[in-house]
Amino acid sequence: MTVEKISQLFLAFEKANLCNLRNLRNLRIILQTMSSPHILVVCTANICRSPVGEALLKARFQAENLADWTVSSAGTQAMTGFAASLFSRQLMAEQGLDIASHKSQPVTKSLLQQANLVVCMEMRHVKSLKSTFPAHKNRLFTLKQMVGKRGSVRDPYGGTRRDYERMVATVDRLIEQGFLRIKQLAEDNFQGSYLR
């Protein structure tokens, strides 16, 4: 988005007397998602797998000097405002990644509209979202599809620390191996969204 277009947006907000703090925050979020690709990571409750995927993917983008990319997470059956699970928080902290401030959120139409790519932990998440939000079906994939595989990342909810360690190792490996495909799909969808 050009500086001229951003200036026009702010002038339109000012003319319409919409320059309150809440609207300006919302405008900032919209502009951020328009200026760089956005990836949404999805699991069931948004407390175990997807916060880990979000943190690991953000770290990878930062390592690649792509810190302007947006990565967020949500759940197909998530309730709003829950912290990431204890083991997920601990294991991310051991890797130097802080997800203590994470709050769960459900997948919404708005989140899907912002996302250039939606990476799900299970095929049932993909199917559920395709059914509920068919307009976004071409942006929905499983994390395993990013490496040309089928299947799901097992949900460790209610399990032992070892179960969580296996999940983190799996998500980390899949992001490492599938990073170029993740990046390419998000870029392709990002560029395509502004050509329409």
Amino acid at position 176, single letter = E
- CB atoms under 10 Å from CB of 94, counted, come to 10
- Whether 48 is catalytic is no
- Whether 155 is catalytic is yes
Among 155, 163, 166, 172, the active-site one is 155
Among 19, 48, 49, 172, the active-site one is 49
The residues near 182 (Cβ < 8 Å, ≥ 6 apart) are: 39, 57, 117, 119, 146, 175
Contact 61, 69 (CB under 8 A): yes
Amino acid at position 112, single letter = L
Picking from 177, 193, 196, the residue whose alpha carbon sits closest to that of residue 37 is 193
Among 19, 25, 43, 60, the active-site one is 43
- Whether 43 is catalytic is yes
- Give the active site residues: 43, 49, 155
